[in-house]
Structure 1
Amino acid sequence: MPVQTKGEENQAVQKVTDTLGERAPTQKKYRLLPLNTNDQLYIYVETLEGDLIPQVVLYAYGSKPIRSANIGGNNQHAALEYTFPEKAQGYLIEVSAKPGTSGTYALYIGKNDPAVLTGNADVYGAPLLRQPIVASVGVKLQQIAGIDQKAENYSAVASTQITWNDPALAFRPDECECESKVYTANEFINYATQAGIVWPAFTYLNQQNNRWIQSDFVIVQPNGDARYFERFTTTFQAPDFDFRKFPFDNQSFFIRIDSLYASEFVTFTPSDFTGIGTQLGEEEWYITDHDVTIVTEPGSTGAKTASFIFRFYARRHLAFYIYRIILPLALIITVAWITFFLEDYGKRVDATTANLLLFIAFNFTIAGDLPRLGYLTYMDMLLAGAFTLSVLVVAYNVALKRWETKKKPVDWLFTMDKYMLWLYPLIYALTFGSITWYFFLQ
């Protein structure tokens, strides 16, 4: 067999530097690009900083261990070699830290170059590791079927599009006599699974019910470009509801997509596809803004994964609350004020007592739309303030009636009654002003 020299096409060395343990993950995985029959793989890991004791495992098809080094050992380096008996695809390298150790390491991967095992090999040749798939993710909100404030969720019709490039998907058009390959989502998933191809598989983290998919497809181009699309209907959790400023609240809704593969395999980037439809069909709310965030953190699988968060913000149309609640409330307060012009204290008691019943009815009307909260909303405080002042007015009028009946006039009480025409609206203005300041201006 002829001796291979550095730089030949079937030789390469790649180096990776990373950190394990403490605040970093305790293991890292690296995907190998396809290798040919009889290719020899050399792996060497050494600690650069810290007390790290590295362990290395070579997996076939991503899950079957076939070689390992320094497992249970105490060396600050690990080395292994392996000759592929057939064409290799879907292999990965796992480097992990022995429990209780951490530090920075250098990983050398060599193809047909045993110098790697010395830890002094030069880096050259084509890459041996497959880079993470960069998936461009977008969500378009097309309809809001309903918002359940008590359950803190909402139903939506939306479309998701994911585009990426993977050389493993590339094909020759003359072989299939086609310009592109079109699959349904299930057909593509079966194809990718059988071929051992990693793709941006995902889940909706805040999905609550079944997702009814109206249409889906995957289009693959000869150069490996792929586009996944689905239009669906489902219910999403909205745990960020905050009703403190109800009905002038600004609520946050979101759709979160988590990758099922660790960030070593798939990363996300935002797409221009993301947006809001023009006919959402929601009458109570209107959307004020939206944004997209990409984060990498422990996800649904427990591994550190990429997440796409599409968040939109909505306010209520206020016409209902102004004309059905706030304006009637103001009129009821005005009616109570008008009673101060009456000299019949019995009539005053009747009118102000009726106001109390109206306030109670208003409270039940509003409470029916909201969950049982652990805090008071702005509207709760307004009604509570109005209810408290109404109780005081009833007590005041009862006192006047009582003293009048007993024919034991109290001069200061009847004198104050003259000033109540102006004190009453002033007290309400101060009360409502203080409540508004507390919720919106402090």
Structure 2
Amino acid sequence: MMAISNKRNPLPAIQQALISFIFLLPAIGFCADGVDSQKLAESEVEKAVEKTAKETAAKEGLKTNCLDQRRKPTKVHFFMFILDIDAIDDVNQNFAANIYLRLRWKDKCLANPQGASRRIDLEEIWNPQLIIANRQGMIWKSLPEIVQVDPDGNVFYRQRFSGKLSQPLKLTDFPMDQHGFTIHFASTAYGAGELEFVPDAPRFDPTLIGGSIAKDLSLPDWKIVSYKAVASPYQPIPEIRTAGFVFHFEAKRYVGYYIWQVLLPLIVVVAMSWAGFWLERDQIGVRIGIATSSILTLIAHRFVIASLLPRLPYMTRMDYFSVSSTLLVFLALLSIVMASYLAATNRDLMAKRVDLWARGAFPAAFLLLLGWFALG
């Protein structure tokens, strides 16, 4: 992939020259001699054009990329620090991050051994031209777009990014799921063969190669398990392969909230449906009422769970557990109806056997289902 040209349009220089000429018109009007006025105007216009051309050439000189003249890929060292992960939104498949990025590279064109360190606008010099490839919406930059250049030509760029990043999530194991998240920086102008990103380490801790993450994050229901920062080209389609680097971290969902707020009420409702097996068989209305109310409660519970997840084309672990619990409660209702019918037709012995069988079979089946949910 060829680099995007940095040549500037000469039109701004001509416009500045014309503006300078307009401002000189009042002074020209005071000249008595028309020939002298014309010569003065032409001289001043030539000076303005020459001055503008020199300024433009000076800026273009900063953009003259000595790095492009090399046959080897240009090396840019990177270090990324995740200041905060504000939220992980699995419904909308994104997460909000606050990122600090530091880049450094060497440009001989900017070397000035006898001078001092300088601060230069990023657009006025060669730079990797980075974007966040998986951004979703606007990404905000908190620091000015400037670089610091030391006398040896070492360039240091620092920036802080914040915004939402897209991340496809496979939620099959919800709510006991663990996911990988990526922050992918990519160069918009240089291919993987022209630009090489190298993980860097800060001076205060050489072991933090490539990047790190803050210990305290704004994530109430997720835990960061691991992280790493590596150079990784960005290749959205086979024809495009640009230079880039990635910060990857693994996050595991805290299951405590779902145990106490979702799972425990569901267990209570299922266990409530078994109460009909211990009631007298002649209390048909009470026995059936307990089972039907349990089913209705579980249906309402399903709607609550559905609001926590996107509309998925597949079942999650919580979906399987909830649907299986509903089926168990429905089978409990059928068992109660069967026992009541047998009792009403003077077959008390068979009705008693159905109740005794149900008292052991349904709790055992539910315990097996609960073990599968907890252990996978």
TM surpasses 0.5: yes
Partners of 2:108 and 2:238 lie apart in 1 by 26
Distance 1:298 1:169, change over 3 A: farther
Tell me whether 1:221 sits opposite 2:221 in the alignment. no
Letter in 2 for 1:141: I
Q: 2:182 is paired with a residue of what secondary structure?
A: strand
Q: Does 1:206 align with 2:157?
A: no
Structure 2 match to 1:309 = 246
Check if 1:340 corresponds to 2:277: yes
User: Which residue of 299, 307, 330 maps to 1:368?
Assistant: 307
RMSD of aligned residue pairs (Cα, Å): 2.9
- 1:378 matches 2:326: no
The residue type paired with residue 159 of structure 2 is E
Which of these residues, 421, 425, 428, is aligned with residue 359 of structure 2? 421
Aligned to 2:119: 182
Report the Cα distance in structure 2 between the residues aligned to 1:203 and 1:162, rounded to whole angstroms: 13
Residues 302 and 138 (structure 1), Cα distance of their counterparts in 2 relative to 1, 3 Å cut: farther
Does residue 400 in structure 1 map to residue 329 in structure 2? no
Structure 2 vs 1, CA of residues 428 and 293 (structure 1 numbering), >3 Å: closer, same or farther? Answer: same
Higher deviation after alignment, 378-387 or 335-344: 335-344
Is 2:93 the counterpart of 1:152? yes
One-letter amino acid of the structure 1 residue matched with residue 122 of structure 2: F
Q: Distance in 2 between matches of 1:232 and 1:342?
A: 64
Number of residues of Structure 1 aligned to a counterpart in Structure 2? 310
Q: Contact (CA 8 Å) 2:84, 2:218: kept in 1 or not? A: yes
**Corresponding position of 1:57:** none
| Deviation string, structure 1 residues 94-145 (Cα, Å, up to 9, x no partner) | xxxxxxxxxxxxxxxxxxxxxxxxxxxxxxxxxx735322111222111222
- Residues 345 and 400 of structure 1 are in contact (CA less than 8 Å); yes or no, is this contact kept in structure 2? no
Partners of 2:240 and 2:148 in 1: CA distance: 29
Q: Is the 8 Å Cα contact of residues 186 and 234 (structure 2) preserved in structure 1? A: no
Normalising to structure 1: TM-score of the pair? 0.64
Q: Is this contact kept in 1: 2:79–2:199, CA < 8 A?
A: yes
Q: Which residue of the partner structure matches residue 264 of structure 2?
A: 327
C-alpha spacing 1:61/1:337, structure 2 compared with 1 (3 Å) = closer
- Measured in 1, the distance between the counterparts of 2:284 and 2:79 equals 68
| Cα gap change, 1:130 to 1:224, in 2 (>3 Å) | farther
- Aligned residue runs from structure 1 range 237-248, under 5 A: 237-239=166-168, 241-248=169-176
Q: SS of the residue aligned with 1:398? A: helix
Higher mean alpha-carbon deviation, 369-378 vs 425-434, is at: 425-434
Contact 2:185–2:246 (CA under 8 A) maintained in structure 1: yes
CA drift of 1:290 comes to 0.8
Partner residue in 1 for 2:55: none
> How do 1:96-107 and structure 2 match up within 5 A?
none
More helix by share: 2
**Which structure has more strand as a fraction of its residues?**
1
Give the counterpart of 1:251 among 179, 199, 209. 179
Would you say the 8 A contact 1:168–1:224 is kept in 2?
yes
Q: How far is 1:388 from its partner?
A: 0.5
Greater mean alpha carbon deviation, residues 139-148 or residues 370-379: 139-148
Code of the aligned partner of 1:188 = L
Distance, in Å, in 2 between the alignment partners of 1:158 and 1:347 is 60
- Between the aligned partners of 2:237 and 2:183, the Cα distance in structure 1 is 14
4+ runs deviating over 6 angstroms: 60-63
Which residue pairs with 1:430 in the alignment?
A: 368
Structure 1 unaligned residues grouped into runs of 5+: 1-27, 32-59, 64-86, 94-127
TM-score, length-scaled by structure 2? 0.74
Query: Structure 1 residue 412 and structure 2 residue 341: aligned?
Result: no
Deviation at 1:224, TM superposition (A): 1.3
Q: Once the two structures are superposed, what CA deviation does each residue of 1:343-377 show, in whole Å capped at 9, x if it has no partner?
A: 13321211111111221122111111211111111
Q: CA deviation at 1:301?
A: 11
Cα distance change on mapping 1:342 and 1:270 into 2, 3 Å: same
Matched, 1:232 2:124: no
The answer to whether 1:266 aligns with 2:195 is yes
Shift of 1:232: 2.0
Identify the residue that residue 108 of structure 1 maps to in structure 2.
none
Q: Supply the distance in 2 between the matched residues of 1:135 and 1:393 (Cα, whole angstroms).
A: 67
Contact 1:258 1:300 (C-alpha < 8 Å) held by counterparts: no
For residues 145 and 92 of structure 1, do their structure 2 counterparts lie closer, same or farther at Cα, with a shift above 3 Å needed?
closer
Looking at structure 2, the residues matched to 400 and 299 of structure 1 have their Cα atoms a distance apart, in angstroms, of 63
Which residue identity lines up with residue 278 of structure 2 in the other structure?
Answer: F
Per-residue CA deviations over 1:31-53 (Å, capped at 9, x if unaligned) read 9xxxxxxxxxxxxxxxxxxxxxx
Shift of 1:62: 8.9
Matched to 2:215, the amino acid is T
Name the CA distance, whole Å, in 1 between partners of 2:293 and 2:166.
41
Q: Write the letter of the residue equivalent to 1:400.
A: A
Contact 2:277/2:336 (<8 A) preserved:
no
AA partner of residue 377 (structure 1): T
Q: Structure 1 163/300 Cα, relative in aligned 2: closer, same or farther at 3 Å? A: farther
